[in-house]
Amino acid sequence: MIIIKSAEEIELMRQAAVPTKEMLNNLADIIKPGMSTKDIDDYVEEYILKAGMKPAFKGYSGYPACACVSLNEEVVHGIPSKKRILMEGDIVSVDLGTIYKGFYSDAARTYPVGKVSEKHAQLIKAAEDGFNAGLFFARKGNRLGDISHAIQEEVESQGFSVIRDYVGHGVGREMHEDPMVPNYGKAGHGVQLVPGMVIAVEPMIATGDYAVRVLPDGWTAVTKDGGYAAHYENTIVITDGDPILLTK
Ligand code: MF3
Ligand code: CO
């Protein structure tokens, strides 16, 4: 069941998303070779608490941190660690969210660490391009499959693959609500978009094959072939007109 949000609820979700978007913007300058992935999580935890909000991820299904920090071939759900040190040429995905007055925000970016290869810079950009291609169809009357299909076309046209095992989702009083929002699919299929729907659209893409496996820690998803992965996510609102990006 898809829960349509009222204007008042959307206003709370907008407020929940403010620190999320600020952190993701700030991290572009903060992330440097030599930091640990735990340093990123510490920054996120402190920022959320200072904002008077709750971290969305900590304790979610037992997840132990405030951010997911996924390096290189790690696709999503990387657990921050003092022992994982960012090195020049790495790419690092940071996924984070807040809860404010009962509502969730959820967003992610992938950052270059220092100077990265041309290919990996393009991978990072392709995840964002895929999101934007999908966003173009995030309008009332269109169908979910229009968004999914546009993301897939954009990403694959740039020579990258779309991860199948993880998808976007509705957001609201739960982090994961209906509908599921795959980053691949058929135009013209799926539920119709209506004003008040709030969805997290989040292309996860890879340089090689899209197959993933989960490491023995029970969380970290890595590409099976070791290709690098990128992730770009925003929480968006379907309206009568242009979609609203709450986390950008
Ligand atoms: N941000 C992720 C998503 O979009 C959720 C993180 S899983 C958690 O689905 F357990 F770490 F919270
Ligand atoms: Co999400």
Does ligand 1 have an atom closer than 6 angstroms to the CB of 41?
Answer: no
Pseudo-torsion of CA 211, 160, 31, 49, nearest 10°? -60
Q: Nearest C-alpha to atom 12 of ligand 1 is from which residue?
A: 57
Dist. CA 97–CA 67, nearest whole Å: 8
How far apart, in whole angstroms, are the C-alpha atoms of residue 184 and residue 168? 11
Ligand 1 neighbour 90 (Cβ under 6 A): no
pLDDT (0 to 100) of residue 92: 99
200 C-beta closer than 6 A to ligand 1: yes
Please, which pLDDT band fits residue 248 given cuts at 50, 70 and 90?
A: very high
- The whole model's pTM is what? 0.98
Q: Measured between alpha carbons, how far is 84 from 44 in angstroms, rounded to an integer? A: 17
Output the DSSP codes for 54-115.
EESSTTGGG--SSEEEEETTEEE-PPP-TT-B--TT-EEEEEE-EEETTEE--EEEEEE-SS
Q: 74 in ligand 1 pocket by Cβ < 6 Å? A: no
Q: What is the pLDDT of residues 177-225, one digit of tens each?
A: 999 999 999 999 999 999 999 999 999 999 999 999 999 999 999 999 9
Region 117-140 average pLDDT: 98
Q: Relative to the alpha carbon of 58, which ligand is closest?
A: 1
Atom of ligand 1 nearest to the CA of 58: 12
